[in-house]
Amino acid sequence: MEKVLEYLKKNNKRFIAELCEYVRFPSVSAQPKHRKDLKNCADWLTRHCRQIGLHTRLCPTAGNSILVARTRKPSRTSSKKGKSSKPHYLVYGHYDVQPAEPFDLWDSPPFEPSLRGTALFARGASDNKGQHLAHLNAVEAYLKTGTELPCDLTFVIEGEEEVGSRNLTDFLADHRKDLQCDGVVISDTGLIGPRHPTLTHALRGICALEVKLTGPSRDLHSGIFGGSVGNPAMALCQLLAQLRDKDGRIAIPGFYRDVAPLSAAERKHLARHPFNETAYRKFLGVAQLEGERGYTPIEQRSARPTLEINGLTSGYQGEGSKTIIPSWASAKLTMRLVPNQTPERIAKLVTAHLRKLCPRSVRIEVQEGHGGEPYFVSPDGIRLQAGLRALKTAFGHDPVLMREGGSIPIVNDFKKTLGADTLLLGLALPDDNAHSPNEKFDLGIFAKGMTMSAYLWRELAAIA
Amino acid sequence: MEKVLEYLKKNNKRFIAELCEYVRFPSVSAQPKHRKDLKNCADWLTRHCRQIGLHTRLCPTAGNSILVARTRKPSRTSSKKGKSSKPHYLVYGHYDVQPAEPFDLWDSPPFEPSLRGTALFARGASDNKGQHLAHLNAVEAYLKTGTELPCDLTFVIEGEEEVGSRNLTDFLADHRKDLQCDGVVISDTGLIGPRHPTLTHALRGICALEVKLTGPSRDLHSGIFGGSVGNPAMALCQLLAQLRDKDGRIAIPGFYRDVAPLSAAERKHLARHPFNETAYRKFLGVAQLEGERGYTPIEQRSARPTLEINGLTSGYQGEGSKTIIPSWASAKLTMRLVPNQTPERIAKLVTAHLRKLCPRSVRIEVQEGHGGEPYFVSPDGIRLQAGLRALKTAFGHDPVLMREGGSIPIVNDFKKTLGADTLLLGLALPDDNAHSPNEKFDLGIFAKGMTMSAYLWRELAAIA
């Protein structure tokens, strides 16, 4: 291990230079004009993985190619002979980036890396190029120093994460056998701060619905008809208003039935997270927070289910006024789910309740949107504990366990297709500006991420 | 009178031909490309009024000209000598029309009059060219038969009614002295049916507001932050939902304080109006009506105040879903007012109540829009009774008194500027399609309208 750490230290400058090279590719998957840049970026990454000494293949898909790079040559036969005795882990990352617009809000051009203070500013530096490069650097250190890697590793680095990973699910299904593994490691989440290395062990699920109420067959003159006919916009407001009670709880029968209660231990752990309410309010721009009574904001936004209105549309939206009773009104809703809620059951419950509450003066349509399961790994799990030990050793601070309020659909894909749990060891600081102008990646965290990765494989091998 | 009626009968074909000429002008005030057509139309009308024998002036304004045509030469001096002993009435109308789009929904071209059955189909036939032409024809009959007109009449026919009569108020103020009168007559409303000649004696007022709730300083990720921060769209729904109770009453303290109760006599009269609920539901396209408990649909839509949401806007409105907590949500509201409510007081009440109910997690802004007083003439008034007698004689049926749910701002202008009440003697049938494709005007009603006008001046002179 000495040699590995020594190598990482000695080559730090080169690693930064390589990260600079890597972020120069404007690999924006959302914009067709960057198709070529994505290809060039993938080619660069392929060459880089080969130089390290990985068995690397760039696999074409219907969209952008997926890179697969292995520490161990894939066996051609299914005989036991060819099998390794080491545990096998997948490291996932993505080489595509978010659009950089609006360019004028950047202090330096998004695709010309700029070192300021301890951070490298560039689109993709933190999300996600710097983060998976940390893992690749750790592996390089093992390979180049002749130190035996305690695990077999397969890097799966795709080019369509920012546009919904549309070809990854099929790819995983097609390569199910080759990618069979003991677990997945992803560094694509956040850490609370340099003194709070973070392991994310839970993600919320999601359930999207659209509800539309239709009243009269066309917009009506509100003078001539107003008062004698139901107004779909008012009906919608009255319908949605009933979905949330005064305590901030979702007032839908059965909504909380499957919710796994937060353990006293976890609540205690979450209460130790650094959190400044004033700063949080200021960051959001609100005078007062609002949430489910009896839970802290951290719990509310990560460990409790929600129902949010994402959009409202009805009637006239232009300048001034138009005196109509709108023919229809609609709302987009998403529910965030926690273990053990399922999007199917929640969609059913919410739909049934909306239909039940809807007055007869309007017609209701509920359209189901996308759904995603919540994700949860027990904090007691041995792999998770191994991850925590690696974090502690690398950062020199007690790591914290975090639940993420959002969803990362690929984590469910890995679980469903490969049966593997995921360790989410994020290296992005809260102010790294992922998806925003002036994205940056802290180079101190970059170095600690490599060390963490180096320790991680030892820890994970030790429990096998 | 014999001679007058005889003249109207004998010249009926020519009157129809003249109406055809008149509606051929595409005098669409909302569309700048028709500016020339409006001028040509006003010129035609000026020539027509002069041919009848009226003292006619086409008065330029900042917009389209206003035609003033008098049966009596205006006196140059203010001496008593020049004054008439006859009562003086104003007849208002407008020569501009609504846009005819969408053209493809018309069965015949909108500006090529087409006679089908007993109706003339053309844009403007009913709203309002045919209706004020009926009055002009009656006056022509008096003048051309040498029959003494029992009243002095001044026609004021403008070209901007469909775009808000923006130059009429100033015009009335500038000509206050010349236009001093005993009353105003307008045929620009509806009649319930050929067997139910109708006098509209009340109009609802209006008060428009826009309410906007702002939460976080930008749209937030509903996964990362959802649950810990107030959602302005939900706050708006909960706010607006509280404005209307289960009985369909507006739940704003003081809202009904100034409402003049409906008299038993008027309710009895309104109950005799022909009304078929099934047909009304079918016409509106709703499965069930909804309104203030304890009132009939006719009362609800004309004699009771309302609060309507005219539009809702918040967050994402495109295809699919966007998982955000919207930064803001807004609603357009209009209240319809009845005597003796005032738009100023209602705006104050509603605003104060909204502010009081608004949760502290969002910021509220209320913007006041336009307002208009309700209008009411007592059914016992002698001029109104004279109008009813003229209707009965001309149509051969007992006339009905109606309240109109909408507003006609010019009626308040006449009251405010000239101190004159208005007799609303509408000649449009419910299926005349004003403002819609296939507008038509019933030629039987056209003829009866002329007769009614002929009798009206006699009835009005008799009470003076």
| Nearest Cβ partner for B306 among A226, A238, A240 | A226
Among chain B residues, CA nearest to A286: B216
Segments making up each domain of chain A, as ranges? 2-203+374-462, 206-259+305-370
| A274, burial (CB in 10 Å: exposed 0-12, middle 13-18, buried 19+) | exposed
Among chain A residues, CA nearest to B298: A228
B300/A310 Cβ within 8 A: no
Among chain A residues, CA nearest to B286: A216
Give the residue from B231, B286, B324, B433 with the most A CB atoms within 10 Å of its CB, the best one to mutate: B286
A361/B286 Cβ within 8 A: yes
Q: For the residues of A165-220, what is the DSSP string, one character each? A: -TTHHHHHHHTTTTT--SEEEE--SB-SBTTB-EEEEEE-EEEEEEEEEE-SSS-E
pLDDT band at A216 (very low <50, low <70, confident <90, very high): very high
Q: How far is A421 from chain B (nearest CA, A)?
A: 21
CB B365 within 8 A of CB B211: yes
Q: How far is B172 from chain A (nearest CA, A)?
A: 26
Higher pLDDT, B80 or B174: B174
Question: What is the CATH code of the structural domain delimited by A2-203+374-462?
Answer: 3.40.630.10
A320/B222 Cβ within 8 A: no
pLDDT of B358 > 90? The answer is yes
| Exposure class string for A242-269: b at 16+ Cβ within 10 A, else e | bbbeeebbbebeebeebbeebeeebeee
Integer Cα distance of A313 and A332 in angstroms: 9
Reduced to 3 states, what is the DSSP secondary structure of residue B384? Answer: helix
Beta bridge partner(s), residue A309: A333
Give the residue from A309, A328, A362, A366 with the most B CB atoms within 10 Å of its CB, the best one to mutate: A309
Reduced to 3 states, what is the DSSP secondary structure of residue B455? Answer: helix
- Residue B233, pLDDT score: 98
Q: How far is B83 from chain A (nearest CA, A)?
A: 41
Integer Cα distance of B317 and A347 in angstroms: 20
Question: Which residues from chain B sit within 8 angstroms of residue A331, using beta carbons?
Answer: 233
Integer Cα distance of B65 and B160 in angstroms: 9
Among chain B residues, CA nearest to A223: B406
Integer Cα distance of A448 and A225 in angstroms: 69
Question: Which residues from chain A sit within 8 angstroms of residue B332, using beta carbons?
Answer: 315-317, 321-322
pLDDT band at B76 (very low <50, low <70, confident <90, very high): low
- Residue B435, pLDDT score: 85
| Nearest Cβ partner for B334 among A228, A289, A321 | A321
- Residue A321, pLDDT score: 81
Question: Which residues from chain B sit within 8 angstroms of residue A204, using beta carbons?
Answer: 223
- Rounded to the nearest integer, the mean pLDDT of chain A is 95
Beta bridge partner(s), residue A363: A214
ipTM attached to this prediction: 0.89
CATH for the A206-259+305-370 domain, from 3.30.70.360, 3.40.50.920, 3.40.30.10, 3.40.50.740: 3.30.70.360
Give the residue from B207, B237, B288, B325 with the most A CB atoms within 10 Å of its CB, the best one to mutate: B237
Q: For the residues of A396-430, what is the DSSP string, one character each? A: SS--EEEEESS--HHHHHIIIII---EEE---B-T
- How far, CA to CA in Å, does A328 sit from each of A319, B362, B422? 20, 26, 36
Q: For the residues of B146-215, what is the DSSP string, one character each? A: TPPPSSEEEEEEES-GGGT-TTHHHHHHHTTTTT--SEEEE--SB-SBTTB-EEEEEE-EEEEEEEEEE-
pLDDT band at B38 (very low <50, low <70, confident <90, very high): very high
**Residue carrying the six token digits 């008034």:** B381
pLDDT band at A421 (very low <50, low <70, confident <90, very high): very high
- Residue B463, pLDDT score: 92
B329/A286 Cβ within 8 A: no
Tokens, residue B441: 């005007």
| Nearest Cβ partner for B228 among A215, A300, A362 | A300
CB B404 within 8 A of CB B394: no
Integer Cα distance of B120 and B22 in angstroms: 12
pLDDT band at B412 (very low <50, low <70, confident <90, very high): very high
Percent of the residues in chain B that have a pLDDT greater than 70, as a whole number: 98
DSSP state, B312? E
In one letter, which amino acid is A355? R
Give the residue from B214, B222, B358, B408 with the most A CB atoms within 10 Å of its CB, the best one to mutate: B222
Helix axis angle, B443-462 to B12-23, nearest 10°: 110
A326/B316 Cβ within 8 A: no
**What is the rounded average pLDDT of the residues B358-376?**
95
Q: What is the separation of C-alpha B21 from the centre of its chain, rounded to a whole number of angstroms?
A: 25
Phi, psi of B305 (to 5 degrees): -75, 155
Percent of the residues in chain A that have a pLDDT greater than 70, as a whole number: 98
pLDDT of A102 > 90? The answer is no
Q: What is the separation of C-alpha B463 from the centre of its chain, rounded to a whole number of angstroms?
A: 27
Higher pLDDT, A38 or B464: A38
- Residue A82, pLDDT score: 58
**What is the rounded average pLDDT of the residues A227-233?**
97
Q: How far is A200 from chain B (nearest CA, A)?
A: 13
- The closest of A68, A76, A69, A44 to A54, measured between CA atoms, is A69
pLDDT of B446 > 70? The answer is yes
Beta bridge partner(s), residue A250: A244
Q: For the residues of B66-96, what is the DSSP string, one character each? A: EEEEESSPPPSS--GGG--SS-EEEEEEE--
Least confident of A201-205, B367-371, B446-450: B367-371
A237/B309 Cβ within 8 A: yes
B244/A241 Cβ within 8 A: no
**B459: part of which helix (H) or strand (E)?**
helix B443-462
Reduced to 3 states, what is the DSSP secondary structure of residue B115? Answer: strand
Q: Is the dihedral of CA B212, B215, B221, B222 positive or negative?
A: negative
- The closest of A171, A137, A122, A160 to A42, measured between CA atoms, is A160
* Start-end of H helices in A53-165: 130-144
Domain covering B205-259+305-372 assigned CATH 3.90.1150.10 in the classification: no
Give the residue from B127, B163, B280, B310 with the most A CB atoms within 10 Å of its CB, the best one to mutate: B310
- A161 a catalytic residue: yes
Angle at B317 between CA B316 and CA B322, to 5 degrees: 40
Among chain A residues, CA nearest to B203: A223
In one letter, which amino acid is A410? I
Q: Is the dihedral of CA B417, B421, B427, B433 positive or negative?
A: positive
A311/B314 Cβ within 8 A: yes
Q: What is the pLDDT of residues A47-92, one digit of tens each?
A: 999 999 999 999 999 999 999 999 998 765 554 555 788 999 999 9
**What is the rounded average pLDDT of the residues B440-454?**
98
CB B26 within 8 A of CB B37: yes
B317/A313 Cβ within 8 A: yes
Question: Which residues from chain A sit within 8 angstroms of residue B233, using beta carbons?
Answer: 309-312, 331
Q: For the residues of B269-294, what is the DSSP string, one character each? A: HHHTS---HHHHHHHHT-SS----TT
Give the residue from B290, B337, B431 with the most A CB atoms within 10 Å of its CB, the best one to mutate: B290
Question: Which residues from chain B sit within 8 angstroms of residue A301, using beta carbons?
Answer: 224-229
CB A304 within 8 A of CB A226: no
Q: What is the pLDDT of residues B278-320, one digit of tens each?
A: 999 999 999 999 999 999 999 999 999 999 999 999 999 988 8
B308/A234 Cβ within 8 A: yes
Question: Which residues from chain B sit within 8 angstroms of residue A280, using beta carbons?
Answer: 228
CB A224 within 8 A of CB A230: no
Among chain B residues, CA nearest to A316: B311
Question: Which residues from chain A sit within 8 angstroms of residue B215, using beta carbons?
Answer: 286
| Nearest Cβ partner for A227 among B220, B324, B405 | B405
- Residue A84, pLDDT score: 82
A325/B312 Cβ within 8 A: no
**What is the rounded average pLDDT of the residues B421-446?**
94
| B193, burial (CB in 10 Å: exposed 0-12, middle 13-18, buried 19+) | middle
Q: What is the separation of C-alpha B390 from the centre of its chain, rounded to a whole number of angstroms?
A: 22
Q: State the catalytic residue, choosing from A18, A37, A96, A432.
A: A96
- Residue A436, pLDDT score: 86
- The closest of B401, B386, B393 to B448, measured between CA atoms, is B393
**What is the rounded average pLDDT of the residues A34-41?**
97
- Rounded to the nearest integer, the mean pLDDT of chain B is 95
Question: Which residues from chain A sit within 8 angstroms of residue B222, using beta carbons?
Answer: 306, 308, 310, 334, 336
Q: How far is B43 from chain A (nearest CA, A)?
A: 33
A220/B204 Cβ within 8 A: no
Q: What is the separation of C-alpha A285 from the centre of its chain, rounded to a whole number of angstroms?
A: 24
CB B88 within 8 A of CB B156: no
Question: Which residues from chain A sit within 8 angstroms of residue B284, using beta carbons?
Answer: 216-217, 220, 225, 229
The residues, any chain, with a CB within 8 Å of residue A294's CB and separated by 6 or more, are A247
Least confident of A148-157, A337-346, B316-325, B449-458: B316-325
Instruction: For chains A and B, count residue pairs whose Cβ atoms are closer than 8 Å.
Output: 274
Q: How far is A255 from chain B (nearest CA, A)?
A: 15
B234/A288 Cβ within 8 A: no
Residue B194, preceding bond cis, omega within 30 degrees?
Answer: no
* Active site (catalytic) residues of B: 96, 161
| Nearest Cβ partner for B310 among A301, A324, A361 | A324
Q: How far is B269 from chain A (nearest CA, A)?
A: 18
Q: For the residues of B386-435, what is the DSSP string, one character each? A: HHHHHHHHHHSS--EEEEESS--HHHHHIIIII---EEE---B-TTS-TT
Phi, psi of A66 (to 5 degrees): -110, 130
- Residue B84, pLDDT score: 82
- The closest of A334, A166, A348, A359 to A257, measured between CA atoms, is A348
Higher pLDDT, B43 or A221: B43
Integer Cα distance of B303 and B262 in angstroms: 8
CB B215 within 8 A of CB B235: yes
Question: Which residues from chain B sit within 8 angstroms of residue A297, using beta carbons?
Answer: 228
Tokens, residue B241: 């939902």
DSSP state, A97? B
Least confident of A36-45, A234-243, B371-380: B371-380
CB B405 within 8 A of CB B204: yes
